[in-house]
Homo-oligomer: A and B are copies of this chain.
Amino acid sequence: MELLPRQQAQFERVKGIIEDTYRRYGFTALDTPVIEASEVLLAKAGGETEKQIYRFEKGDSDLSLRFDLTVPLAKYVALHYNELSFPFRRYQIGKVYRGERAQRGRFREFYQADIDIIGDGSLDIINEAEIPAIIYHTFTALGLNRFQIRVNNRKLLNGFYAMLGWEHRAGDIMRTVDKLPKIGAEKVGLMLHDDLGLDQDAVGDIVAFMAISGSNQEVLSALEGYRGRNEVFDQGLDELNTVVKYLSDFGVPQENFAVDLTIARGLDYYTGTVYETFMLDHPEVGAICSGGRYDNLGSYYTEKQLPGVGIAIGLTRLFYVLQEQGMLNGDLPTAPCDVLVLPMTEDLSPAISFATACRSAGVRAQLYTEPKKFKAKMNYADKIGVPYVAFLGEDEAANGVVSLKDMVSGNQEKVALVDAPHWLLERVAEKNRGQVVTG
């Protein structure tokens, strides 16, 4: 995905807001290398990953490009274990590389925006309860409101399948149940019976369990009916209760959050709370943010037990979708500068001094001195979408003022040179006040 300047400005805004939100939650920046030894990246990779990875030799080294941000994190934490403080909270917004066949909305080089909280030996459940708050505040800071964070707990599922005596096939059952939204309960029931060999009672129990829905309190109450039959289940239910209990303290409204027993998130890696976030008006997009709790970040790199919880936003994909759906706020300025300074005199000193003053004040200023006709200059201003143009002619110079034209309203005002940078700063801030996403 290669963006034109105005799109890139929107992308930078989206990226900046995600980064700012992650930082407010106390995550530290990390910037692991893109190139790693293949043996590091592929230590626990499966066949699909091996096929997609960019791998090459340089001198005697067998190298690869990272395909996610989690594997490099595992290596980093293992390598620097003694220098880090735990819980270790890091964010990383960076590109990852997968040699997928190019298709609409899929890119071989794309940004992910990850956070992870890594404990040393243990990690308090409150960290899992905090994740929905981070997801919620990230998306609302962007301006997105119509989304839902769906949460489940893997212990609850594992415990439930253990109650039925089917814990040894829990992975296969989850994979089948995953198809529920697509093929419906009846077909899932048939597959559980025919393909996996579950008896009708177990199938009935599973279908009934997955049908539990309603408000968070209703779902949690229904789950209480299963308590006492399996220790792992009970623990999962306690964890889920804790996550829900602190939602409002974390500032997450009920309507953006749902306990959803059909969420499973892959197979082996996740071991506790799992999260998937969907856009309510665009379910076809799939999850825009996913993650969960895991018991061990890096058993391939260290003997230490490093449990954690993390989420990832597929930033490039999210931006692509927002753009496709027309959800980016077109009213926000995307020009490279806030003011285009047009000198109207032979001596450029007044214009240069004014641009310098603007820049010192934090106003993004561009001098335009190409020898073009006035119309061509204004055309340039229009094309880059600059909010203000500053004219500095003999008249203005003599009176210590500058003419400032609002390119949206067309209004033009003379402002004292000394006041103009601040004048611009205030108005530009106003024009940038809107949210980047609408919907």
- Within the assembled complex, what's the spacing in Å between the Cα atoms of A349 and B367? 54
The interface stretch among A83-91, A395-403, A409-417 is A83-91
CB pair A249–B365 under 8 Å, yes or no, is no
Q: Which of B9, B30, B126 contacts A8 (CB 8 A)?
A: B30
Q: Which of B27, B33, B130, B337 contacts A336 (CB 8 A)?
A: B27
Closest to A340 in B: B26
CB pair A370–B119 under 8 Å, yes or no, is yes
**Cβ-based interface call for A29 (8 A):** yes
CB pair A59–B89 under 8 Å, yes or no, is no
**Cβ-based interface call for A124 (8 A):** yes
CB pair A371–B124 under 8 Å, yes or no, is yes
**Cβ-based interface call for A423 (8 A):** no
Identical subunits present: 2
Closest to A129 in B: B352
**With a CB–CB cut-off of 8 A, which chain B residues contact A95?**
34
| Chain B nearest Cβ from A425, distance in angstroms | 11
The interface stretch among A50-58, A146-154, A184-192 is A50-58
Interface set, chain A 75-127, CB cutoff 8 A to B: 76, 80, 83-85, 87-90, 95, 97, 99, 108-109, 119, 122-124, 126-127
Interface set, chain A 226-267, CB cutoff 8 A to B: 246, 249-251
CB pair B356–A251 under 8 Å, yes or no, is yes
In the complex with contacts A5-B84, A33-B109, A367-B126, A249-B353 CB distance below 8 A: yes
Flag A152-190 by CB within 8 Å of B: 1 or 0 each: 000000000000000000000000000000000000000
| Chain B nearest Cβ from A12, distance in angstroms | 5
Q: Which of B35, B65, B362, B365 contacts A26 (CB 8 A)?
A: B365
CB pair B352–A24 under 8 Å, yes or no, is no
* Size range of the chain A interface in the assembly: 35 or more
Q: Which of B5, B28, B130, B363 contacts A367 (CB 8 A)?
A: B130
Closest to A99 in B: B58
Closest to A5 in B: B28
**Cβ-based interface call for A49 (8 A):** no
| Chain B nearest Cβ from A30, distance in angstroms | 6
| Chain B nearest Cβ from A143, distance in angstroms | 16
- Within the assembled complex, what's the spacing in Å between the Cα atoms of A280 and B31? 31
In the complex with contacts A27-B336, A109-B35, A352-B122 CB distance below 8 A: no
| Chain B nearest Cβ from A240, distance in angstroms | 16
Flag A269-303 by CB within 8 Å of B: 1 or 0 each: 00000000000000000000000000000000000
- Within the assembled complex, what's the spacing in Å between the Cα atoms of A364 and B24? 4
- Within the assembled complex, what's the spacing in Å between the Cα atoms of A95 and B97? 14
**Cβ-based interface call for A2 (8 A):** yes
**What are 13 inter-chain pairs, A to B, with CB distance below 8 A?**
A3-B31, A4-B83, A4-B84, A5-B88, A8-B29, A8-B30, A25-B364, A33-B109, A58-B99, A90-B336, A126-B352, A249-B356, A250-B352
Known: A24-B364, A28-B336, A58-B99. 7 other contacts (CB 8 A): A5-B29, A8-B31, A25-B365, A54-B63, A85-B380, A89-B366, A126-B369
A residues near B, CB below 8 A?
2-5, 8-9, 11-12, 23-35, 54-56, 58-59, 63, 65, 76, 80, 83-85, 87-90, 95, 97, 99, 108-109, 119, 122-124, 126-127, 130, 133, 137, 246, 249-251, 335-337, 340, 348-349, 352-353, 356, 359-360, 362-371, 380, 383-384
